[in-house]
Amino acid sequence: MKKIKHESQLLKKALQIGQQYAEKRGFAHFDEGTSNKIKIECIYRLLVEDKVLTPLATDKEDGPNMKHKLVLWIQKQLPDNHPLLSD
């Protein structure tokens, strides 16, 4: 898996946008005590269910791969001139 520049900030942005997406779909918001691991899995599965993301192979469905998939997704959603996409 290739390391992405600003990956942690992009993941944080993906979780923020993913939570907004989930709320618009009618899901309750995450409690403050909800871990990022659970948020990542829930958002990933919602986006796969809605066919926004291509699912990972069953044997590759783990935390690091889900994180990477969300980071790739948010990179495509952000405008080209976004600061997190700059080198």
Look over the chain and give the mean of its residue pLDDT values, rounded to a whole number: 91
Residue 2 pLDDT greater than 80, yes or no: no
The distance from CA 68 to its chain's CA centroid, rounded to whole angstroms, is 8
Task: Return the structure tokens found at 57.
Answer: 């192979």
Q: What is the pLDDT of residues 7-41, one digit of tens each?
A: 999 999 999 999 999 999 998 888 889 999 999 99
Q: Are 46 and 39 in contact (CB under 8 A)?
A: no
Of 1 and 27, more confident: 27
Q: Which of 50, 41, 35 is nearest to 69 (CA)?
A: 41
Phi, psi of 46 (to 5 degrees): -65, -45
Q: Are 11 and 67 in contact (CB under 8 A)?
A: yes
